[in-house]
C-alpha cells in the first residue's frame, strides 16, 4: 500500500486514535467553546469568515444543537472520519471537522494546498487550542493534514476510515468514489450545487430605505464575501410581481453596489473573469437579455425575460455578476427546481410557509430556505442530510 510520506501534518497528530465518543460529548463542547474564545480574543476576529466560525462554535449555539439532536437511544460516533475539504471555501474544513467531532468521531481532515491564508490561519488557531494540556484527549483524535492530488494517498486513508466526507466538484467526487471504502463505512458527499434568491416585490416596495440597505448588506455578505463560490450563494434573483413598484429593483441593486464599493476588493483578475462571463452569457442565453452595470464594473445584473431550461447549469456568476427575472406566482419556479438547487434565499415571505409550499408540490430541488444574511451559515442539517445522524450510530434496545 502507498505510504503517506508525502503528507504534511498541520495540527493534531498524524495517526489519530479512533475510539468513538458520545455525540455532543463534554470534551468536544469544551474544546470548541475554547476555539471560539481563542478566535474572539485574537486578531483573527477581524477576518469575517473566521469570526463567523468562532461565533458558530460558541457554547450557547453548541448547546442548542445538542438539544436539537437529542435521541431516545445512546448515540456514538462511527469511529474515524476522513474529510476532504474544498479549496474555494477556506473555512469549510473547520466546519466539517467540528460536525465530525460533535458526532463523536475521531477526524482526519485533508486541507487543500490551495486553501490560502484564511484556512492556514484558522488551522493554526485550532492547533494552538489542541496543544493545551486540557484538550489532550481531543488532540489524540484529531489530524489536520495536507498533500497534493494523489489518489494513492487518498485511497490509503479511505481504506482505514469508518466514514468519508467529501466536499468537492462533481468530477472529483466521481474520482474519489472509485476508491473503495471498508464494507461497514458510510460516505457523505457534497457535490456542485446552485442557489438563488426569491424576493417579494410588494415587500421590497413597502420597505423603507434603511430596511432596503440592511437587506443589501446581508445579500452582499451572502455573495461577495466568497466571490459567489459557495454552493449556497445566490446566482439568480427572482422577483415575484405580487404588487408594488418594479422601480424598487434598481433602487435595491444600487444599494448592493454601494456595499461592494465600500468593502469589496476588486482587481484585474476579477474584472476579466466577470467580463468573460458577461460575453459568454450574451452569446449563449436568449436574445431577450439586458445587462445593467452599477458602480462601474463592481456589479453586473443581467435581466432575463424567461429562464433557460437548465438554469442551474447555465446561470452562474462570480465576483458580483447576477441574473434576475420576474415571475407572477411561485408555481412558475417549479421547472427550475432540479436536484442541483440547494439554497433559496427568501425575503418578504414566511420561510416555513415556503418550505411547505415546495414540499407539497414535490419539488426535486431546494434543501434549505434562508433569510438574507443566512445563506453562508453552516448547519448540522446540510443538503437535506442530518449530518449528526449520518456520522453516528444508535445503540437500540428492544422492549
* H-helix or E-strand spanning residue 52: helix 48-56
74 and 179 fall within a common domain: yes
Phi, psi dihedrals of residue 343, rounded to the nearest 5°: -110, 135
47 and 114 fall within a common domain: yes
Q: How many domains does the chain have?
A: 2
Cα angle 249, 304, 351 (rounded to 5 degrees) comes to 55
Contact between 363 and 337 under an 8 Å Cβ cutoff? The reply is yes
199 and 181 fall within a common domain: no
187 and 43 fall within a common domain: yes
Domain that holds residue 364: 194-370
Contact between 43 and 366 under an 8 Å Cβ cutoff? The reply is no
44 and 175 fall within a common domain: yes
* 376 lies in some domain: no
* 375 lies in some domain: no
66 and 210 fall within a common domain: no
CATH label of the domain that carries residue 69:
3.40.605.10
Contact between 260 and 299 under an 8 Å Cβ cutoff? The reply is yes
Contact between 33 and 58 under an 8 Å Cβ cutoff? The reply is yes
188 and 216 fall within a common domain: no
- Residue 4 has a pLDDT of 61
- Residue 112 has a pLDDT of 86
* 359 lies in some domain: yes
278 and 346 fall within a common domain: yes
* 390 lies in some domain: yes
Phi, psi dihedrals of residue 69, rounded to the nearest 5°: -105, 20
* 320 lies in some domain: yes
177 and 233 fall within a common domain: no
Cα angle 370, 30, 103 (rounded to 5 degrees) comes to 55
* 215 lies in some domain: yes
CATH label of the domain that carries residue 353:
3.40.309.10
- List, as one string, the DSSP characters of 234-290: EEEEEEE-SSS-TTHHHHHHHHHHHHHHHH----HHHHHHHHHHHHHHHHHS-S-EE
230 and 177 fall within a common domain: no
* 378 lies in some domain: no
Q: At what angle do helices 116-130 and 26-40 cross, to 10 degrees?
A: 120
* 1 lies in some domain: no
Distance (Å, whole) CA 169 – CA 281: 22
249 and 263 fall within a common domain: yes
* Other Cβ atoms within 10 Å of 384 Cβ, number: 11
Contact between 142 and 16 under an 8 Å Cβ cutoff? The reply is yes
239 closest CA partner among 178, 162, 161, 328: 328
- Residue 170 has a pLDDT of 93
The terminus-to-terminus CA distance of the chain in angstroms comes to 46
12 and 86 fall within a common domain: yes
For the chain, how big is the Rg over CA atoms in Å? 22
Q: How far apart, in Å, are the Cα atoms of 58 and each of 34, 38, 64, 243, 280?
A: 8, 11, 10, 42, 44
Task: Note the pLDDT tens digit of each residue in 253-282.
Answer: 999 999 999 999 888 999 999 989 888 888
Per-residue pLDDT of the chain (399 residues; tens, 9 = 90+): 344 668 999 999 999 999 999 999 999 999 999 999 999 999 999 998 999 999 999 999 999 999 999 999 999 999 999 999 998 889 999 999 999 999 999 999 999 887 689 999 999 999 999 999 999 999 999 999 999 989 999 999 999 999 999 999 999 999 999 999 999 999 999 999 999 999 999 999 999 999 999 999 999 999 998 899 899 999 999 999 999 999 999 999 999 999 999 999 888 999 999 989 888 888 888 767 899 999 988 999 999 998 888 899 899 999 999 999 999 999 999 999 999 999 999 999 999 999 999 999 999 999 999 999 999 999 999 999 999 999 999 999 887
Amino acid at each position: 500500500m502507498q505510504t503517506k510520506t508525502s503528507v504534511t501534518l498541520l495540527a493534531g497528530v498524524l495517526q489519530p486514535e479512533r475510539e468513538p465518543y458520545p455525540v455532543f460529548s463534554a470534551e468536544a463542547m469544551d474544546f470548541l467553546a475554547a476555539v471560539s474564545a481563542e478566535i474572539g480574543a485574537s486578531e483573527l476576529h477581524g477576518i469575517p469568515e473566521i469570526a463567523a466560525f468562532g461565533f458558530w462554535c460558541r457554547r450557547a449555539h453548541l448547546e442548542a444543537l445538542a438539544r436539537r439532536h437529542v435521541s431516545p437511544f445512546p448515540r456514538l460516533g462511527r469511529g474515524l472520519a476522513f474529510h476532504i475539504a474544498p479549496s474555494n471555501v477556506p473555512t469549510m474544513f473547520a466546519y466539517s471537522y467540528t460536525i465530525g467531532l460533535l458526532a463523536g468521531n475521531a477526524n482526519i481532515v485533508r486541507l487543500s494546498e490551495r486553501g490560502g491564508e484564511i484556512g492556514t490561519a484558522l488551522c493554526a488557531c485550532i492547533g494552538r487550542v489542541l496543544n493545551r494540556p486540557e484538550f489532550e484527549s481531543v488532540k489524540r483524535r484529531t489530524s489536520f493534514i495536507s498533500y497534493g492530488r494523489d489518489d494513492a494517498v487518498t485511497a490509503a486513508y479511505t481504506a482505514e476510515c469508518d466514514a468519508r466526507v467529501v466536499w468537492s466538484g462533481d468530477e472529483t467526487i466521481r474520482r474519489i468514489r472509485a476508491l473503495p471504502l471498508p464494507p461497514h463505512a458510510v460516505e457523505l458527499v457534497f457535490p456542485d450545487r446552485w442557489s438563488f434568491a426569491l424576493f417579494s416585490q410588494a415587500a421590497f416596495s413597502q420597505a423603507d430605505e434603511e430596511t432596503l440597505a440592511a437587506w443589501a448588506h446581508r445579500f452582499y455578505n451572502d455573495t461577495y464575501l466568497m466571490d459567489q463560490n459557495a454552493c449556497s450563494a445566490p446566482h439568480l434573483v427572482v422577483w415575484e410581481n405580487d404588487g408594488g413598484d418594479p422601480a424598487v429593483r434598481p433602487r435595491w441593486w444600487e444599494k448592493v453596489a454601494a456595499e461592494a464599493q465600500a468593502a469589496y476588493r476588486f482587481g484585474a483578475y476579477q474584472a476579466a473573469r466577470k467580463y468573460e462571463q458577461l460575453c459568454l452569457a450574451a452569446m449563449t442565453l436568449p436574445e431577450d437579455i439586458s445587462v445593467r452595470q452599477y458602480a462601474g464594473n463592481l456589479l453586473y445584473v443581467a435581466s432575463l425575460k424567461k429562464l433557460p431550461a437548465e438554469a442551474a447549469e447555465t446561470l452562474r456568476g462570480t465576483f458580483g455578476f447576477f441574473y434576475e427575472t420576474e415571475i407572477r406566482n411561485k408555481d412558475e419556479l417549479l421547472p427550475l427546481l432540479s436536484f442541483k438547487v440547494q439554497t433559496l434565499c427568501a425575503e418578504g415571505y414566511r420561510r416555513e410557509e415556503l418550505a411547505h409550499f415546495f414540499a407539497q408540490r414535490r419539488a426535486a430541488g431546494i434543501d434549505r430556505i434562508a433569510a438574507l444574511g443566512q445563506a453562508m451559515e453552516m448547519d448540522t442539517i446540510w443538503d437535506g442530510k442530518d449530518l449528526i445522524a449520518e456520522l453516528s450510530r444508535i445503540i437500540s434496545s428492544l422492549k
